[in-house]
Chain A
Amino acid sequence: MNSVALPSCSHLPVASGIGLRAAHHERVATERPGIAWLEVHTENFLGGGATPALLESLRGEYAISLHGVGLSLGSAEGLDQDHLSRIAALVRRVEPAAVSDHLSWSVTGGVYFNDLLPVPYDEEALAAIARNVMRFQEAIGREVMVENPSTYLRHAQSDRAEPQFLAELCQRSGCGLLLDVNNVFVSAENHGDDARAYLAAIAPLPIGEIHLSGHHLRQIGNRSIRIDDHGSPVSDQVWALYEQALALIGPRPTLVEWDSALPPLETLLAEADKAQTRLDHAMRSTA
Chain B
Amino acid sequence: MNLAELQGAYRDYLLSGDSGRLAPAIVADAFDGAERLAIYRNNFLIGLGEALKANFPVTLQLVGRDYFEQAAWRFVLAHPPRQPCLFEYGAAFPDYLRDLPELGALPYVGEMARFEFARIASYHAPVERYLAADALAGLPADQLEALAIRRARHAQIVSVSAPVVELWMAHQAPEPDLSAIDMTARSQVLLVCRPDQTVVVRELAASALQFMSAAEHETRLGNVAARLGADAALARAIALALELRLLAIL
Q: Are A115 and B3 in contact (CB under 8 A)?
A: no
User: A70 is contacted by which of B2, B80, B84 (Cβ under 8 Å)?
Assistant: B84
Check A181 for interface membership: any CB of B closer than 8 A: no
**Residues on B with beta carbons closer than 8 Å to the beta carbon of A154:** 26-27
Contact of B7 among A44, A108, A153, A223 (CB under 8 A): A108
Could you tell me the distance between the alpha carbons of A50 and B87 in the complex, rounded to whole angstroms?
13
Check: A47 CB closer than 8 A to any chain B CB: yes
CA distance A80 to B82 in the complex (A): 11
The smallest C-beta distance from B4 to any residue of chain A, in angstroms, reads 4
B48 and A114 contact, CB distance less than 8 A:
yes
A43 to B85, CA, bound (A): 5
Task: Indicate which residue in A46, A114, A124 contacts B3 across the interface (CB closer than 8 Å).
Answer: A124
| Cβ contacts under 8 Å, A105 to chain B | 7
| A156 and B27 within 8 A (CB) | yes
Interface 9-residue window, one of B8-16, B225-233, B235-243: B8-16
Chain A nearest CB: distance from B153 CB in Å?
8
Residues in B43-90 with C-beta less than 8 Å from chain A: 43-44, 47-48, 50-51, 54, 80-87
Q: Bound state CA distance, A227 and B31, in angstroms?
A: 14
B3 to chain A: which residues have CB within 8 Å? 76, 119-120, 124-125, 128
| A71 and chain B: residue at smallest CB distance | B84
Assess A220 versus B85: contact at CB under 8 Å? Given A49-B194, A260-B50: no
**At the interface, yes or no: B123 with Cβ under 8 Å from chain A?**
yes
Q: How many Å from the CB of A240 to the closest CB on chain B?
A: 24
A113 to B14, Cβ gap below 8 A? yes
Contact of B31 with A108 in the complex, beta carbons under 8 Å: no
* B25 vs chain A, min Cβ distance (A): 6
Please, which residues of chain A bring their CB within 8 A of the CB of B4?
A: 76-77, 108
B127, CB-defined interface residue at 8 Å: yes
Contact of A153 among B1, B15, B27, B123 (CB under 8 A): B27
CB distance from A205 to the nearest CB of B (A): 23
A200 on interface, CB distance cutoff 8 Å: no
Among A117, A118, A124, point to the contact of B2 (Cβ < 8 A). A124
* Cα separation A48 to B194 with both chains bound (whole Å): 11
A76, B2: Cβ atoms under 8 Å? yes
Q: Are B33 and A46 in contact (CB under 8 A)?
A: no
A29 to B194: give the CA distance in the assembly, Å: 19
Is A157's CB under 8 angstroms from B1's CB?
yes
Q: Can you list, as one digit per residue, whether each of B114-125 has a CB less than 8 Å from chain A (1) or not (0)?
A: 000000001111
User: Do A48 and B124 touch (CB < 8 A)?
Assistant: yes
Would you give the shortest CB distance from B81 to chain A, in whole angstroms?
4
A155 near B26: Cβ-Cβ < 8 Å: yes
CA distance A80 to B87 in the complex (A): 18
Beta-carbon nearest neighbor of A152 in chain B: B39
Q: Which of A115-143 contact B (CB under 8 A)?
A: 115, 117-120, 124-125, 128
* A47 in contact with B84 given A77-B4, A117-B10, A223-B31 (CB within 8 Å): no
Complex CA gap A225/B126 in Å reads 43
Task: Find residues 153-202 in chain A having any chain B CB closer than 8 Å to their own CB.
Answer: 153-157, 192
Cα distance A128–B117 in the bound complex, in angstroms: 36
Assembled-state Cα–Cα distance A48/B81 (Å) = 20
CB atoms of A107 and B84 under 8 A apart: yes
Interface residues of B (CB under 8 A from A): 1-4, 6-8, 10-11, 14-15, 24-27, 29-31, 33, 35-37, 39-40, 43-44, 47-48, 50-51, 54, 80-87, 122-127, 153-154, 194, 197-198
Q: 18 A-B residue contacts at CB 8 Å? A: A44-B85, A44-B87, A47-B124, A48-B124, A48-B153, A49-B126, A50-B124, A50-B194, A50-B197, A72-B84, A83-B84, A111-B80, A113-B14, A113-B44, A117-B10, A125-B3, A153-B26, A153-B39
Besides A43-B86, A114-B81, A153-B36, 14 other CB < 8 A contacts? A44-B85, A48-B124, A76-B6, A76-B7, A108-B4, A108-B11, A111-B11, A112-B82, A118-B40, A152-B36, A153-B40, A156-B26, A156-B27, A157-B6
Which 8 pairs of residues, A with B, have the shortest CB-CB distance? A48-B126, A47-B124, A70-B84, A153-B36, A76-B3, A76-B4, A112-B81, A108-B7
